[in-house]
């Protein structure tokens, strides 16, 4: 098991940059939109995001191992665009719903309940289910192993290493102010529309 954890960890280390590039358009706007000039607060958002991502990884580890056991070695074609569309729509929702009152450009004028306001866990989850090339490489290895505990160990290692690459995004957040939050919300909206478009296009056209 430790050997598999290390294998996943090494895969994560070698492809971490791609994970960073793939996760940044989702995490960075959210941190910009919701972060405060308080490092601890932003760290809490980051941890929730990682929690959601971890849950998604473990879910995939489970599904891949089960699929491997059943002898199915291919991902459904609609999975990737569906995940992307889910991700984009959640981002649009977060951007629209969280925009606070007070002159900001907003789709919904009033604040929603705090439960809906902060959903980094969900964002982390939809980021996790967005299949990127390094993730797909790990996924194929899991199909091959077809063993649930081993799959968890392997993806646990992969998750740990890739999270190291994503962590530096926190460095810029202690300077966030209200203006940066508004810019972040607009960015979140744009990124959400972008992923929704790509996802829906994949679902409807391909």
Partner 1 sequence: MEPTETPTQRAPAAALFAALVFVPVLFFSSVIAGREISRLYALAWALFAGGIAYAIAATGRVSSWRRVFFSTSALAFLVHFKLGLAGKAFDPTCFKDTPYCHIAMAPYFLNYLYQQYLALMSAGWKLWGPLTLGAVWLFVTLALGRGWCSWACFYGGIDDGLAALPRRPLLRLGSWALRLRDLPAALLIFFMLVSLASMLPVFCLWFCPFKVTGTFLDAGGWQRTAQHALLYSALAALLLGPLLTKKRIFCSYLCPFAAWQAFWGRLNPFRVTLDPALCTGCVKCARACPMTAISCAPGGRPEVSAYCNLCGECLEACPGAGFKYTLFGLELPKTAGFFKDLFTAKFFYVFSALTLGAAFSSLWAPAALRDIVHWVR
Q: Are 9 and 109 within 8 A, CB to CB?
A: no
Query: Within positions 26 to 45, which residues make up the interface with partner 1, using CB under 8 A?
Result: 28-29, 32
Task: Name which position in 155, 187, 196, 199 contacts partner 1 (CB under 8 A).
Answer: 187
Taking the complex as a whole, how short is the minimal distance between the CB of residue 68 and partner 1, in angstroms? Answer: 29
Taking the complex as a whole, how short is the minimal distance between the CB of residue 126 and partner 1, in angstroms? Answer: 15
State the SS3 of 117-177: HCCHHHHHHHHHCCCCHHHHHHHHHHHHHCCHHHHHHHHHHHHHHHHHHHHHHHHHHHHCC
The overall longest dimension of the chain from CA atoms, in Å, is 56
Closer Cβ to partner 1, 19 or 142, answer by number? 19
Taking the complex as a whole, how short is the minimal distance between the CB of residue 102 and partner 1, in angstroms? Answer: 11
Closer Cβ to partner 1, 67 or 84, answer by number? 84
**Cα distance between residue 68 and residue 66, in whole Å:** 5
Residue 179 interacts with partner 1 (CB under 8 A): yes or no: yes
Residue 205 interacts with partner 1 (CB under 8 A): yes or no: yes
Query: 131, 167, 185: which is closest to 39 by C-alpha?
Result: 167
**Cα distance between residue 86 and residue 88, in whole Å:** 6
Half-sphere exposure (CA, 13 Å, Cβ side) for 55? 13
Closer Cβ to partner 1, 73 or 197, answer by number? 197
Residue 24 interacts with partner 1 (CB under 8 A): yes or no: yes
Residue 103 interacts with partner 1 (CB under 8 A): yes or no: yes
Taking the complex as a whole, how short is the minimal distance between the CB of residue 63 and partner 1, in angstroms? Answer: 24
Residue 13 interacts with partner 1 (CB under 8 A): yes or no: no
Task: Name which position in 11, 22, 61, 122 contacts partner 1 (CB under 8 A).
Answer: 22
Query: 118, 7, 143: which is closest to 52 by C-alpha?
Result: 118
């Amino acid at each position: 098991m430790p050997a598999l954890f290390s294998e996943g960890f090494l895969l994560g280390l070698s492809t971490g940059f791609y994970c960073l590039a793939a996760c940044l358009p989702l995490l960075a706007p959210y941190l910009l939109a919701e972060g405060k000039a308080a490092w601890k607060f932003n760290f809490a958002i980051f941890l929730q995001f990682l929690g959601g991502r971890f849950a998604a990884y473990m879910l995939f580890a489970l599904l891949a191992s089960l699929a491997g056991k059943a002898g199915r070695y291919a991902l459904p074609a609609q999975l990737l665009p569906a995940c992307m569309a889910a991700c984009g729509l959640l981002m649009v929702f977060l951007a629209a719903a969280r925009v606070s009152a007070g002159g900001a450009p907003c789709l919904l004028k009033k604040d929603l309940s705090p439960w809906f306001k902060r959903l980094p866990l969900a964002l982390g989850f939809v980021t996790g289910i967005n299949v990127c090339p390094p993730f797909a490489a790990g996924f194929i290895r899991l199909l091959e192993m077809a063993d649930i505990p081993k799959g968890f160990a392997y993806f646990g290692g992969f998750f740990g290493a890739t999270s190291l690459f994503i962590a530096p995004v926190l460095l810029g957040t202690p300077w966030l102010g209200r203006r940066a939050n508004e810019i972040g919300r607009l960015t979140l909206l744009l990124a959400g529309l972008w992923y929704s478009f790509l996802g829906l296009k994949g679902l409807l056209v391909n």
